[in-house]
Each structure stands twice: as C-alpha cells, then as structure tokens.
Structure 1
Amino acid sequence: MIVFPNCKINLGLHITRKRPDGFHDLETVFYPLPVNDALEIIAHPSLQFASSGIPVPGEAADNLCIRAFHLLQRDFPQVQPVNIHLHKHIPIGAGLGGGSADAAFMLRLLNQKFQLGLSDTVLADYAAQLGSDCPFFIYNRPCYATGRGEIMDPIDLDLSGYSFVLVHPGIHVNTGWAFKQLTPQAPAYALREKIQSPVATWRGLITNDFEAPVFSAYPVLAGIKEQLYAAGALYAAMSGSGSAVVGIFPKNKIADILWDASYRVFTIR
C-alpha cells in the first residue's frame, strides 16, 4: 500500500501565550498543498524502515513513522510488522510539516491495512501524541488551529483559483530558538476573521509573528519574500517558523524568477 503525504503552509501565525506546561498557545490557519512525499508499507516478518530522496536525519527507531507504528500496535495487537519505505521530497525543517504528514499518513495506512475502523477523530487523538500539527494531516483540509496547533476547526477556504510558489533556501531555523525570540501577545482581531478577507488584501493583514526575528537573523528570507512580491505575488509569507517562504499569485500568472541554484522551488499552478 502506498500513499503520498502532502505538505502544509501556515497562513498567519500568532503566538498568544506561554502555557504553564512550557508550551505555547497559538493561532494559525493550516492549508494543504500538493508537494508530496511517498510512503509505502508491505507485510514483513519484522518491522523495517528505509528511506530515499532527501536524507532523513536521526536513527530509524526515532522516525515518526516508526513511532506511529508502535503507538497503534500498543493498543491494537492485530497491527503486525511491516516494511516501511519513505521517499522524502518535502524539505525537512522548512515549516511545511513534512514529518508530521508522514506520521499522520502512517496512522491512516495502518488503520486501513489492518482494518482497525478508527474514525478521523480517534486518529487525530493518536496523531496529537506524535506532534502538535500531526492531527491536521488526518483531516487534511483548511483548518483554523489553536492550542499548541492540535485543536482543529475546519474552515471554508478555497485557494484553488490561485497559483503558489514555495521557496526553500536550505536554511534550518531552530524552532526552540525562534520561540524564545517572541513575546506572546493575543492579536486584536482573530485570524479566523481576517482570513475571510480577499487574498489581495492579505498583505500586511495576515502576519506571522516569527518573521521579524527570523528575518533579522536570516536576511536572505526577507529577500525571498520581496522577490515574490516583485514577481507579482498577491501575498507572500514565511510558513511556520521557517524557512520556506510561500507566494500566492493570480492563477497561472507567475513571472520568471532567477533563484539561486541551491534553492528548492516548487510551483503549484
């Protein structure tokens, strides 16, 4: 069985308070985009994991796909060992949620293969144990997210009438460092209200709290954002804590941009 975990972007991101447990509350809008990994499982006498494409850091035993397997097997003994192959295409550490997508799609795969009959709500509860934004990929539709990012409320947001450019310059932004640069503050108006405005009005309205400190530390990211605007983007912003930057353009109206050869650039028309 094979599936193709997709990425997400953040449309707006506000850190609203630091919680007693040390985590932060936030608000954001998650939006899925078709930049995909490939994840395949087949029955095997023992649990195995291999990857190709972009190198996956860390030990195989710590991979989120393996952790997802053990999470379900703990409660459902009928989940038997599988051979897992992950082809990594979504940039790692880019704010695009690739690892979280792989984990969530692994849960969905196991649910289907072993006929566990788990609802999306139950799968999302398992996914939340693997990462704050993992539950989004169970629903995989535009959502307004609060809490640590795990509380999802689907919203009516259709951007199929636009084109997208995602640019990842290969910079890795440490998420822990990025959070330490912020002073949590609730915005005057909820992002859920702002996101209903026309896309052409989002510039300066839909903001990401991480941009100020991250752009200060990595000016090249601010330059990418400005290049996207200069090329005709209606809206451009960093996704998550970075370092991917996304531009939203009128449908099929993307000017040619000469990017650095080391950048990974994805165009979604």
Structure 2
Amino acid sequence: MIVFPNCKINLGLHITRRRDDGFHDLETVFYPLPVTDALEVISAPVLTFNSSGIAVPGDAADNLCIRAFRLLQQDYPQLQPVAIHLHKHIPIGAGLGGGSSDAAFMLKALSSKFQLHLSEASLMDYAAQLGSDCPFFIPNRPCYATGRGEILTPLSLDLSTCSFLLVHPGIHVNTGWAFRQITPQTPAYALQEKIMEPVDTWKDVISNDFEQPVFREYPVLAAIKAAMYENGAIYAAMSGSGSAVVGIFPKNKIADIRWDASYLVYKVS
C-alpha cells in the first residue's frame, strides 16, 4: 500500500493563551496543498522503518510512523508487523506539517490495510495523541483550528483560483524558542471571518504572530516574503513557526524569481 501524505500551510496564526499544561492555545487556518511525501506500508516479519529523499533526523524507532503503528497496536493487538518506507519530499521543520501528515496518513493506511474500519472521529482521536496538528490531516480539508490546533471547524474556503509558491531556505526554527518569543494576546480581528473575504484583502489584515520575532532573528525570511510581494503575490506569509514562506499568486501567474540555489522551491498551480 502506498499513500501520499500532503503538506499544509497556515493562513493567519495567533497565540492567544499559555495553558497550565505548558502548551499554548492558538487560532489558525489550516489549508492543505498537494506537495507530498510517499509512504509505503507492506506486511513484513518485523516492524521496520527506512527513508529516502530528504534526510529524516532522529532514531528510526521514534519516528512518528512507528509511533502511529504502536499506538494502534495497543488497542488492536492483531496488527501484524509492517515494513515502512518513507520518501521524504516535504521539508522538515518548515511549518508545513510534513511529519504530522506522515503520522496521520499512517493511521489511515493501517486502518485500511487491516480493515479496522476506524471512523474519522476515532482516527482524529488517535492522531491527537501523536501531535497537535496531526488531527487536521485526517479530514484533510480547510479548517479553522483552535486549542493546540486539534479543535477543527471545517471552512468552505476555496483557493482553486490561486497558485502557490513555497520557499524553504533550509533554516530550522526551533519551535520552543519561537513560542517563548510570543506574548499571548487576544487577536485584533476575527480570523475565522476575515479568511472568508477575498484574498486581495488579506495583506494588511491577516498576520502570523511568529513572523516578527522569527524575521528579526532570520532576516532572509523577511526578504523572501518581500520578494514575493515585489513579484506579484496577492498574499505572502510564513507558515507556522517557519521557516517556509508561502506566496499566493493569481492562477498560473507565479513569477519566475531567481532564488538562492540552496533553497527548496515548490510551485502549486
């Protein structure tokens, strides 16, 4: 079985409260894009994980795909071992949710492969145990997210008349550091309402709280965003806590911008 976990972008992101459990409450809009990894799951004598493409850091035994398998196996001991191969194409540590997507798609693949017939709600409950934005990739449709990112309200947001440019300059922004730079506050506008207005109204309204401290620390990210606007973007912003920057352009009108050769660049028409 092969599935193709896709990335997400954040459209607006506000940190609203520091919780007693050490996490933060936030609000954001998740929007899926078809930049994908490839995840293969086949029956095998023992549980294994290997990867290709962009290097996946850390111990393979702690990979989210392995953790997803073991999480389901606790409740479904009949799950037989599988060999997992992940071809990594979504940049890691970019604010695009690639690891979370891999974990969520692993849950869905296992449910299908072993005929567990898990409901969407059940899969989302499992996904929430793996990461704050993992549940989004179960329904995998535009959502307004609150809580830690796991409380999802579907949105009828359709950006099919737009094209997207994702640029990742290889910078890794430490998420814990980024959160420590933010003073939580009540947003100045209702994101859930403003996001439904035309995209060309977003530039001076819809914001990401992480941009100010992250751009101060990594000015190249601000320069990427500025270059997008200078070359015709309707809207541009950093996704999540970074460091991918997303530009939204009129359909099939992404500018041919000359980026540093080391940057990872993805176009979605």
Number of aligned residue pairs: give it.
Answer: 269
What whole-Å deviation, never above 9, does each CA across 1:95-132 have from its counterpart, x for those lacking one?
00000000000000000000001101000000000000
Cα distance between partner residues in 2 of 1:52 and 1:79: 25
Q: CA deviation at 1:189?
A: 2.3
| Correspondence for 1:46 | 46
Q: CA deviation at 1:255?
A: 1.7
| Correspondence for 1:247 | 247
Q: CA deviation at 1:208?
A: 0.1
| Correspondence for 1:200 | 200
2:87 maps to 1:90: no
Secondary structure of the residue aligned to 1:139 is coil
Cα distance between partner residues in 1 of 2:46 and 2:190: 48
Cα distance between partner residues in 2 of 1:188 and 1:160: 28
What one-letter code is carried by the residue in structure 2 that aligns with 1:179?
Answer: F
Cα distance between partner residues in 1 of 2:255 and 2:144: 31
Cα distance between partner residues in 2 of 1:263 and 1:7: 18
Q: CA deviation at 1:204?
A: 1.5
Q: Please, what TM-score do these two structures have when normalized by structure 1?
A: 0.99
Range 71-80 or range 214-223, more displaced: 71-80
Cα distance between partner residues in 1 of 2:26 and 2:229: 27
1:116-155 aligned within 5 A? 116-155=116-155
Cα distance between partner residues in 1 of 2:62 and 2:168: 25
Q: CA deviation at 1:188?
A: 2.7
Cα distance between partner residues in 1 of 2:121 and 2:232: 40
Secondary structure of the residue aligned to 1:186 is coil
Secondary structure of the residue aligned to 2:209 is coil
What one-letter code is carried by the residue in structure 1 that aligns with 2:182?
Answer: L
Q: 5+ unaligned residues in a row in structure 2: which ranges? A: none
Q: CA deviation at 1:34?
A: 0.5
Aligned structure 1 segments of 4 or more residues deviating by more than 3 angstroms: none
Secondary structure of the residue aligned to 2:106 is helix
2:109 maps to 1:109: yes
Identity of aligned residues (%): 77
| Correspondence for 1:236 | 236
Cα distance between partner residues in 2 of 1:69 and 1:186: 38
| Correspondence for 1:260 | 260
What one-letter code is carried by the residue in structure 2 that aligns with 1:224?
Answer: I
Q: CA deviation at 1:54?
A: 0.4
What whole-Å deviation, never above 9, does each CA across 1:24-49 have from its counterpart, x for those lacking one?
00000000001000000110011011
Cα distance between partner residues in 2 of 1:190 and 1:131: 26
| Correspondence for 2:27 | 27
| Correspondence for 2:176 | 176
What whole-Å deviation, never above 9, does each CA across 1:178-205 have from its counterpart, x for those lacking one?
0000000011322101101100010021
Range 187-196 or range 3-12, more displaced: 187-196
Cα distance between partner residues in 2 of 1:66 and 1:84: 8
Cα distance between partner residues in 1 of 2:178 and 2:55: 24
Q: Please, what TM-score do these two structures have when normalized by structure 2?
A: 0.99
What whole-Å deviation, never above 9, does each CA across 1:58-98 have from its counterpart, x for those lacking one?
00010000000000000001211000000000000000000
